[in-house]
Amino acid sequence: MDQLQAAHIERQEEWCPDQKPDLSFRGNEMGGECGEAQNVIKKLERERHGWRGSRDTVEHLGQELADVVHTAVLCAITAGIELGPYVVAKFNETSEKNGLSTFLPSPPEAE
């Protein structure tokens, strides 16, 4: 996660060095990507049920879900959040709360 955030920070400087999108923009961007993923899921479910209408592919869903992840990372960067520790903590809190034995290792402390 740290490498992904660092790469996005670096690429943002290339992308538009004179402007920095604000959190409102980033949140709307993420919402749009979530909607695109949901639309693919709708089409996959339509096919699974044998209903009429347009179709899509699991590969396209993978692409859209990747966009959701990337836009979530961009939101975190814009808000000044190091996302990795939050992702691990949330996963582990859910396992603990539900009496499950699967946990993620804590990320190493930054030097």
Give the tens place of pLDDT for each residue, 33-79.
Answer: 999 999 999 999 999 999 999 999 999 999 999 999 999 999 999 99
Q: Average pLDDT for residues 84-111, to the nearest whole number?
A: 91
Unique residue bearing structure tokens 């939101």: 75
Residue 107 has a pLDDT of: 73
Count Cβ atoms within 10 A of the Cβ of residue 22 and give its class: 0-12 exposed, 13-18 middle, 19 or more buried: exposed
Q: What residue type is 13 in one-letter code?
A: E
pTM summary value: 0.90
Q: Please provide the average confidence, as pLDDT, over all residues in the chain.
A: 95
Q: Average pLDDT for residues 104-108, to the nearest whole number?
A: 84
User: What proportions of the chain, in percent to the nearest 5, are helix, strand and coil?
Assistant: 70, 0, 30
| Residue extents of the structural domains in the chain | 2-80, 83-111
User: Is pLDDT above 70 for 11?
Assistant: yes
Q: What residue type is 66 in one-letter code?
A: A
